[in-house]
Amino acid sequence: MSTVYLNRFRAEGRYLGAGGQSVVLAGEDLQTSQRVAIRLCVSASGSAAHRMQRAASIDVVHPNVLRTLAGGISNGQPCHVTEYIPGPTLKQHIQERGRLRCSEALWIVAGVLRGLGALHQAGVIHRDIKPANIILGPDGPVIIDLGLARLVGRDPDRERRHGGHPRLHGARADRDPGPGRLRG
């Protein structure tokens, strides 16, 4: 038996993945017959539900950023529905194939940077870029999982209290970046 979420999206029951606080199921948009991914919050934590709702509110339209289709509470649990991108994560790709060729790495980095640029232009700082959060789709790399994203420009006082300037994030310039990393 399949479950319908948000009166529009039917879960097919096929498991696509999981994070620390959610599971992702394959699904179908009943209005368009489009394949979708349905992320369901499985954590009892109120902060996990809040992060999922925040992620669902981010709608950046760019080929290198996973597109949100809907979000809300359905069947008593927070859910976030996105487009479905076929393909492995960058983490899976590296585990299966090993080291990337230079041209392949450059293609991936260029796509990720374009996606991050679109997010930043919309006032979104991802804060969790890693190989497991990049899908190698048929049209290029796609940034996924905005659960830890910070929305800048919406509450600058909070940003200052929790980690610096609201427009500048990343390693602090006065901190040692670690062995083998360039300083600029």
Distance, CA of 101 to CA of 25 (rounded, Å): 32
Q: Which residues lie closer than 8 Å to 136 by C-beta, 6 or more apart?
A: 87, 88, 89, 90, 93, 108
User: Is 78 within 8 Å of 52 (Cβ atoms)?
Assistant: yes
Active-site position among 128, 145, 174, 176 = 128
Distance, CA of 83 to CA of 34 (rounded, Å): 8
- Residues 78-112: b if buried by 16+ CB within 10 A, e if exposed: bbbbbebbebebbeebeeeeeeeeeeeeeebeebb
User: Does residue 128 have an active-site annotation?
Assistant: yes
DSSP assigned state of 17 = E
Distance, CA of 35 to CA of 133 (rounded, Å): 19
Distance, CA of 46 to CA of 106 (rounded, Å): 39
Which residues carry out catalysis?
A: 128
